Amino acid sequence: MRDSYGRKINYLRISVTDLCNLRCRYCMPKEGISQVHHDDILTIEEIGKIARIFTSLGVDKVRLTGGEPLVRKGIVDLVKRIGQLEDIKDFAMTTNGILLRKYARDLKKAGLNRVNISLDTLNENKYAEITRGGRLSNVLRGIEVAKEEGLTPIKINTVLVGGFNDDEIEDFIRWTEEEQIDVRFIELMPMGEAVGFNSKYFISNQLVLDKVPTLIKVERVDKSSPAIYYRVPNGKGRVGLINPISCKFCEDCNRVRITAQGKLKLCLHSNEEIDLKEALMNGGDIENVILNAIKEKPESHHLEDGKYIWKDMYRIGG
Ligand code: SAM
Ligand code: SF4
Protein backbone atom coordinates (compact mmCIF):
# COMPACT_ATOMS: atom_id res chain seq x y z
CA MET A 1 0.00 0.00 0.00
CA ARG A 2 1.29 3.47 -0.87
CA ASP A 3 -0.17 6.74 0.33
CA SER A 4 -0.49 9.81 -1.87
CA TYR A 5 3.03 10.95 -0.89
CA GLY A 6 4.53 7.66 -2.11
CA ARG A 7 5.19 6.31 1.38
CA LYS A 8 4.93 2.54 1.68
CA ILE A 9 2.54 1.63 4.50
CA ASN A 10 3.52 -1.75 5.92
CA TYR A 11 3.19 -1.28 9.67
CA LEU A 12 -0.03 -1.63 11.69
CA ARG A 13 -0.26 -0.75 15.38
CA ILE A 14 -3.33 -2.15 17.08
CA SER A 15 -4.62 -0.89 20.41
CA VAL A 16 -6.39 -3.84 21.99
CA THR A 17 -7.84 -1.96 24.98
CA ASP A 18 -8.15 1.50 26.53
CA LEU A 19 -7.83 0.00 30.00
CA CYS A 20 -4.64 -0.07 31.98
CA ASN A 21 -3.34 -1.34 35.31
CA LEU A 22 -1.24 1.84 35.76
CA ARG A 23 -2.03 5.56 35.67
CA CYS A 24 1.09 7.21 34.28
CA ARG A 25 0.89 10.92 34.97
CA TYR A 26 1.54 12.02 31.37
CA CYS A 27 -0.85 9.48 29.87
CA MET A 28 -3.95 8.78 31.97
CA PRO A 29 -6.12 10.83 34.29
CA LYS A 30 -5.71 9.69 37.90
CA GLU A 31 -9.33 8.64 38.21
CA GLY A 32 -8.85 6.25 35.27
CA ILE A 33 -10.98 6.32 32.17
CA SER A 34 -14.68 6.56 31.43
CA GLN A 35 -15.81 3.02 30.64
CA VAL A 36 -16.50 2.33 27.00
CA HIS A 37 -19.39 -0.05 26.39
CA HIS A 38 -18.20 -3.61 25.74
CA ASP A 39 -20.05 -3.70 22.40
CA ASP A 40 -18.11 -0.67 21.19
CA ILE A 41 -14.76 -2.42 21.55
CA LEU A 42 -13.44 -4.63 18.76
CA THR A 43 -13.77 -8.29 19.63
CA ILE A 44 -10.75 -10.58 19.46
CA GLU A 45 -12.23 -12.09 16.27
CA GLU A 46 -12.66 -8.63 14.70
CA ILE A 47 -9.10 -7.61 15.54
CA GLY A 48 -7.83 -10.86 14.05
CA LYS A 49 -9.88 -10.25 10.90
CA ILE A 50 -8.67 -6.66 10.53
CA ALA A 51 -5.05 -7.78 10.96
CA ARG A 52 -5.55 -10.44 8.30
CA ILE A 53 -7.00 -7.92 5.85
CA PHE A 54 -4.14 -5.50 6.45
CA THR A 55 -1.56 -8.23 5.85
CA SER A 56 -3.29 -9.16 2.60
CA LEU A 57 -2.79 -5.50 1.61
CA GLY A 58 0.93 -5.52 2.30
CA VAL A 59 1.35 -4.98 6.04
CA ASP A 60 4.17 -7.20 7.33
CA LYS A 61 4.80 -5.60 10.71
CA VAL A 62 2.22 -5.62 13.52
CA ARG A 63 2.42 -4.26 17.06
CA LEU A 64 -0.15 -4.73 19.81
CA THR A 65 -0.46 -1.91 22.29
CA GLY A 66 -3.06 -0.08 24.36
CA GLY A 67 -3.88 0.91 27.15
CA GLU A 68 -2.13 -2.09 28.58
CA PRO A 69 -2.42 -5.00 26.11
CA LEU A 70 -1.85 -7.62 28.80
CA VAL A 71 -5.04 -6.67 30.68
CA ARG A 72 -7.14 -7.51 27.61
CA LYS A 73 -9.07 -10.73 28.09
CA GLY A 74 -8.14 -13.18 25.34
CA ILE A 75 -4.81 -11.54 24.57
CA VAL A 76 -2.97 -14.85 24.11
CA ASP A 77 -5.69 -16.07 21.75
CA LEU A 78 -5.33 -12.85 19.75
CA VAL A 79 -1.55 -13.22 19.59
CA LYS A 80 -2.07 -16.74 18.29
CA ARG A 81 -4.45 -15.57 15.56
CA ILE A 82 -2.07 -12.86 14.38
CA GLY A 83 1.03 -15.02 14.90
CA GLN A 84 -0.40 -17.51 12.40
CA LEU A 85 -0.59 -14.95 9.58
CA GLU A 86 2.08 -15.98 7.13
CA ASP A 87 3.03 -12.60 5.74
CA ILE A 88 4.04 -11.06 9.05
CA LYS A 89 7.79 -10.62 9.43
CA ASP A 90 7.78 -8.72 12.72
CA PHE A 91 5.18 -9.15 15.46
CA ALA A 92 5.74 -7.14 18.63
CA MET A 93 3.96 -5.74 21.68
CA THR A 94 4.40 -2.58 23.73
CA THR A 95 3.68 -3.23 27.40
CA ASN A 96 4.33 -1.70 30.78
CA GLY A 97 5.73 -5.11 31.76
CA ILE A 98 3.75 -5.47 35.00
CA LEU A 99 2.09 -8.72 33.84
CA LEU A 100 4.89 -9.93 31.61
CA ARG A 101 6.17 -12.43 34.13
CA LYS A 102 2.82 -14.20 33.95
CA TYR A 103 2.38 -14.04 30.17
CA ALA A 104 5.84 -14.08 28.52
CA ARG A 105 5.97 -17.83 27.93
CA ASP A 106 2.45 -18.08 26.45
CA LEU A 107 3.00 -15.03 24.28
CA LYS A 108 6.18 -16.48 22.83
CA LYS A 109 4.51 -19.83 22.22
CA ALA A 110 1.58 -18.09 20.54
CA GLY A 111 3.91 -16.43 18.03
CA LEU A 112 4.91 -13.04 19.43
CA ASN A 113 8.47 -12.15 18.40
CA ARG A 114 9.45 -9.44 20.86
CA VAL A 115 8.39 -6.81 23.39
CA ASN A 116 9.04 -3.14 24.05
CA ILE A 117 8.74 -2.35 27.74
CA SER A 118 7.97 1.11 29.05
CA LEU A 119 10.06 2.15 32.03
CA ASP A 120 10.73 5.73 32.99
CA THR A 121 12.80 5.24 36.13
CA LEU A 122 14.96 2.63 37.85
CA ASN A 123 13.98 3.85 41.30
CA GLU A 124 11.17 2.01 43.12
CA ASN A 125 9.68 5.12 44.76
CA LYS A 126 9.87 7.23 41.63
CA TYR A 127 8.26 4.40 39.66
CA ALA A 128 5.33 4.35 42.08
CA GLU A 129 5.09 8.13 41.75
CA ILE A 130 5.07 8.42 37.94
CA THR A 131 2.75 5.43 37.47
CA ARG A 132 0.58 6.35 40.48
CA GLY A 133 1.17 3.11 42.33
CA GLY A 134 3.05 0.64 40.12
CA ARG A 135 5.76 -1.69 41.47
CA LEU A 136 9.12 -1.54 39.75
CA SER A 137 10.10 -5.05 40.89
CA ASN A 138 7.24 -6.50 38.80
CA VAL A 139 8.57 -4.84 35.67
CA LEU A 140 12.19 -5.85 36.28
CA ARG A 141 11.12 -9.45 36.83
CA GLY A 142 8.97 -9.25 33.69
CA ILE A 143 11.99 -8.10 31.67
CA GLU A 144 14.05 -11.05 32.96
CA VAL A 145 11.34 -13.56 32.08
CA ALA A 146 10.86 -11.99 28.63
CA LYS A 147 14.59 -12.42 28.04
CA GLU A 148 14.52 -16.03 29.22
CA GLU A 149 11.61 -16.80 26.89
CA GLY A 150 13.32 -15.18 23.91
CA LEU A 151 10.97 -12.21 23.39
CA THR A 152 13.99 -10.40 22.05
CA PRO A 153 15.55 -8.01 21.11
CA ILE A 154 14.11 -6.17 24.10
CA LYS A 155 13.62 -2.44 23.85
CA ILE A 156 12.99 -0.19 26.82
CA ASN A 157 10.91 2.94 26.19
CA THR A 158 11.78 5.78 28.53
CA VAL A 159 9.83 9.03 28.32
CA LEU A 160 12.03 11.90 29.47
CA VAL A 161 10.31 14.01 32.08
CA GLY A 162 12.15 17.16 33.16
CA GLY A 163 13.15 17.23 36.82
CA PHE A 164 11.98 13.63 37.22
CA ASN A 165 14.28 11.25 35.35
CA ASP A 166 16.87 13.44 33.64
CA ASP A 167 19.23 12.52 36.49
CA GLU A 168 18.93 8.83 35.49
CA ILE A 169 19.99 9.17 31.85
CA GLU A 170 23.49 7.85 32.57
CA ASP A 171 22.08 4.88 34.57
CA PHE A 172 19.85 3.86 31.68
CA ILE A 173 22.74 4.17 29.25
CA ARG A 174 24.98 2.07 31.51
CA TRP A 175 22.39 -0.70 31.17
CA THR A 176 23.02 -0.79 27.39
CA GLU A 177 26.75 -1.03 28.05
CA GLU A 178 26.37 -4.19 30.06
CA GLU A 179 23.42 -5.92 28.37
CA GLN A 180 22.08 -6.54 24.90
CA ILE A 181 19.15 -4.24 25.42
CA ASP A 182 18.08 -1.06 23.63
CA VAL A 183 17.00 1.92 25.70
CA ARG A 184 15.02 4.49 23.72
CA PHE A 185 14.48 7.94 25.16
CA ILE A 186 11.20 9.44 23.98
CA GLU A 187 10.31 13.10 24.05
CA LEU A 188 7.10 13.82 25.91
CA MET A 189 4.39 14.56 23.37
CA PRO A 190 1.69 17.14 23.98
CA MET A 191 -1.62 15.31 23.70
CA GLY A 192 -4.73 14.85 25.80
CA GLU A 193 -3.83 14.83 29.48
CA ALA A 194 -0.21 15.56 28.62
CA VAL A 195 -0.72 18.95 26.98
CA GLY A 196 -0.53 20.73 30.35
CA PHE A 197 1.97 18.29 31.81
CA ASN A 198 4.14 18.62 28.75
CA SER A 199 4.54 22.37 28.86
CA LYS A 200 5.89 22.00 32.39
CA TYR A 201 8.07 18.91 32.02
CA PHE A 202 9.15 18.61 28.38
CA ILE A 203 12.88 18.23 27.82
CA SER A 204 14.58 17.69 24.50
CA ASN A 205 16.46 14.49 23.82
CA GLN A 206 19.47 16.69 23.06
CA LEU A 207 20.09 16.46 26.81
CA VAL A 208 21.05 12.78 26.38
CA LEU A 209 23.80 13.70 23.91
CA ASP A 210 24.95 16.58 26.12
CA LYS A 211 25.18 14.32 29.18
CA VAL A 212 26.93 11.45 27.40
CA PRO A 213 29.05 12.95 24.60
CA THR A 214 30.87 9.63 24.09
CA LEU A 215 27.82 8.14 22.35
CA ILE A 216 28.62 7.02 18.81
CA LYS A 217 25.94 7.19 16.11
CA VAL A 218 24.99 3.81 14.63
CA GLU A 219 24.28 3.55 10.92
CA ARG A 220 20.56 3.73 10.24
CA VAL A 221 19.42 0.39 8.87
CA ASP A 222 15.64 0.77 9.16
CA LYS A 223 14.78 4.22 7.77
CA SER A 224 11.17 3.94 8.90
CA SER A 225 12.15 3.54 12.58
CA PRO A 226 11.55 6.79 14.44
CA ALA A 227 14.63 6.15 16.60
CA ILE A 228 18.11 7.42 15.83
CA TYR A 229 20.49 4.93 17.42
CA TYR A 230 23.78 5.39 19.25
CA ARG A 231 26.10 3.13 21.20
CA VAL A 232 28.56 3.68 23.99
CA PRO A 233 32.03 2.46 22.92
CA ASN A 234 31.95 -1.37 23.16
CA GLY A 235 28.36 -1.26 24.44
CA LYS A 236 26.31 -4.44 23.96
CA GLY A 237 23.00 -2.65 23.44
CA ARG A 238 21.98 0.62 21.81
CA VAL A 239 20.65 3.98 22.92
CA GLY A 240 17.78 5.30 20.80
CA LEU A 241 16.49 8.83 20.60
CA ILE A 242 12.91 9.35 19.48
CA ASN A 243 12.36 13.03 18.87
CA PRO A 244 8.87 13.62 17.50
CA ILE A 245 9.04 17.27 18.51
CA SER A 246 12.62 18.41 18.03
CA CYS A 247 13.23 16.32 14.90
CA LYS A 248 10.12 14.98 13.21
CA PHE A 249 10.23 11.83 11.12
CA CYS A 250 6.99 12.11 9.12
CA GLU A 251 8.58 11.76 5.69
CA ASP A 252 9.58 8.17 6.45
CA CYS A 253 6.33 7.26 8.22
CA ASN A 254 5.17 3.75 7.32
CA ARG A 255 2.46 3.19 9.93
CA VAL A 256 -1.23 3.44 10.69
CA ARG A 257 -3.11 2.67 13.87
CA ILE A 258 -6.34 0.99 14.92
CA THR A 259 -7.93 2.08 18.19
CA ALA A 260 -9.64 -0.34 20.55
CA GLN A 261 -12.98 0.93 19.18
CA GLY A 262 -11.94 0.00 15.66
CA LYS A 263 -11.13 3.48 14.38
CA LEU A 264 -8.37 3.69 11.81
CA LYS A 265 -5.97 6.53 12.57
CA LEU A 266 -3.71 7.56 9.73
CA CYS A 267 -1.53 9.78 11.90
CA LEU A 268 -0.96 9.67 15.67
CA HIS A 269 -1.35 13.44 15.86
CA SER A 270 -4.48 13.85 13.78
CA ASN A 271 -8.05 13.82 15.10
CA GLU A 272 -9.27 12.21 11.86
CA GLU A 273 -10.60 8.65 12.28
CA ILE A 274 -12.19 6.13 9.93
CA ASP A 275 -14.67 3.74 11.51
CA LEU A 276 -13.63 0.21 10.54
CA LYS A 277 -15.80 -1.46 13.19
CA GLU A 278 -18.92 0.02 11.65
CA ALA A 279 -17.76 -0.99 8.17
CA LEU A 280 -17.15 -4.52 9.47
CA MET A 281 -20.57 -4.74 11.10
CA ASN A 282 -22.31 -3.44 7.98
CA GLY A 283 -20.53 -6.04 5.86
CA GLY A 284 -18.71 -3.28 3.97
CA ASP A 285 -15.80 -3.75 1.59
CA ILE A 286 -13.09 -3.26 4.23
CA GLU A 287 -10.22 -3.60 1.74
CA ASN A 288 -11.53 -0.65 -0.25
CA VAL A 289 -12.30 1.39 2.85
CA ILE A 290 -8.67 0.89 3.95
CA LEU A 291 -7.14 1.56 0.52
CA ASN A 292 -9.15 4.77 0.11
CA ALA A 293 -8.30 5.88 3.64
CA ILE A 294 -4.55 5.34 3.12
CA LYS A 295 -4.65 7.88 0.30
CA GLU A 296 -5.79 10.47 2.87
CA LYS A 297 -2.82 9.95 5.21
CA PRO A 298 -1.56 13.43 6.13
CA GLU A 299 1.88 14.49 4.96
CA SER A 300 3.03 15.39 8.48
CA HIS A 301 1.97 16.42 11.96
CA HIS A 302 1.97 20.04 13.08
CA LEU A 303 2.86 19.78 16.75
CA GLU A 304 5.45 22.49 16.30
CA ASP A 305 2.61 24.91 15.45
CA GLY A 306 0.73 23.96 18.61
CA LYS A 307 -1.77 21.70 16.80
CA TYR A 308 -2.36 19.07 19.46
CA ILE A 309 -4.91 16.30 19.56
CA TRP A 310 -7.41 15.87 22.35
CA LYS A 311 -7.03 12.14 22.91
CA ASP A 312 -4.62 10.67 25.44
CA MET A 313 -2.06 8.12 24.30
CA TYR A 314 -3.78 5.22 26.06
CA ARG A 315 -6.84 5.80 23.85
CA ILE A 316 -4.84 5.64 20.64
CA GLY A 317 -2.15 3.10 21.29
CA GLY A 318 1.26 4.69 21.63
N1 SAM B 1 0.65 0.43 28.39
C2 SAM B 1 1.68 0.13 27.46
C3 SAM B 1 2.99 0.78 27.86
O4 SAM B 1 3.00 1.66 28.71
O5 SAM B 1 3.99 0.39 27.28
C6 SAM B 1 1.35 0.45 26.02
C7 SAM B 1 0.63 1.74 25.76
S8 SAM B 1 1.51 3.23 26.17
C9 SAM B 1 0.33 4.45 25.68
C10 SAM B 1 2.75 3.24 24.91
C11 SAM B 1 3.90 4.20 25.11
O12 SAM B 1 3.42 5.52 25.00
C13 SAM B 1 4.59 4.12 26.48
O14 SAM B 1 5.97 3.90 26.26
C15 SAM B 1 4.35 5.46 27.10
O16 SAM B 1 5.41 5.84 27.92
C17 SAM B 1 4.19 6.33 25.87
N18 SAM B 1 3.45 7.56 26.11
C19 SAM B 1 2.23 7.73 26.68
N20 SAM B 1 1.87 9.04 26.67
C21 SAM B 1 2.90 9.71 26.08
C22 SAM B 1 3.14 11.07 25.75
N23 SAM B 1 2.26 12.01 26.03
N24 SAM B 1 4.30 11.38 25.14
C25 SAM B 1 5.22 10.42 24.83
N26 SAM B 1 5.05 9.12 25.09
C27 SAM B 1 3.90 8.76 25.72
FE1 SF4 C 1 -0.93 2.68 31.05
FE2 SF4 C 1 1.01 2.67 29.24
FE3 SF4 C 1 -0.44 4.88 29.66
FE4 SF4 C 1 1.23 4.11 31.53
S5 SF4 C 1 1.79 4.75 29.45
S6 SF4 C 1 -0.92 4.72 31.84
S7 SF4 C 1 1.16 1.94 31.35
S8 SF4 C 1 -1.16 2.99 28.84
CA of 214 to the centre of ligand 2 (A): 32
- Ligand 2 pocket member 18 (CB < 6 A): no
Q: Specify if 3 maps to a domain.
A: no
Choose which residue among 16, 18, 27 to substitute to test ligand 1 binding: the one with the highest number of ligand atoms within 8 A of its C-beta: 27
Query: What is the per-residue pLDDT across 303-316, written as a single tens digit (0 to 9) for each?
Result: 555 555 555 566 65
Say how many domains are in the chain: 1
CA of 295 to the centre of ligand 1 (A): 27
Please report, in angstroms and rounded to a whole number, the separation of the first and last CA atoms in the chain.
Answer: 22
Domain of 110: which CATH number?
A: 3.20.20.70
Q: Which of 149-153, 194-198, 235-239 has the lowest mean pLDDT?
A: 194-198
Note the pTM of the prediction, 2 decimals: 0.93
85 vs 28: which has the higher pLDDT? 85
- Ligand 2 pocket member 71 (CB < 6 A): no
Q: Containing domain of residue 42, as a range?
A: 11-316
- Ligand 1 pocket member 226 (CB < 6 A): no
Across 83-122, b (16+ Cβ under 10 Å) vs e yields: bebeebeebbbbbbbbbbbebbbebbebbbbbbbbbbbbb
**pLDDT for position 247:** 55
Q: Specify if 4 maps to a domain.
A: no
**pLDDT for position 31:** 79
Ligand found nearest the CA of 25: 2
Q: Specify if 214 maps to a domain.
A: yes
Q: How far apart are CA 48 and CA 265, in angstroms?
A: 18
**pLDDT for position 70:** 98
Query: What is the per-residue pLDDT across 25-49, written as a single tens digit (0 to 9) for each?
Result: 988 888 777 777 888 999 999 999 9
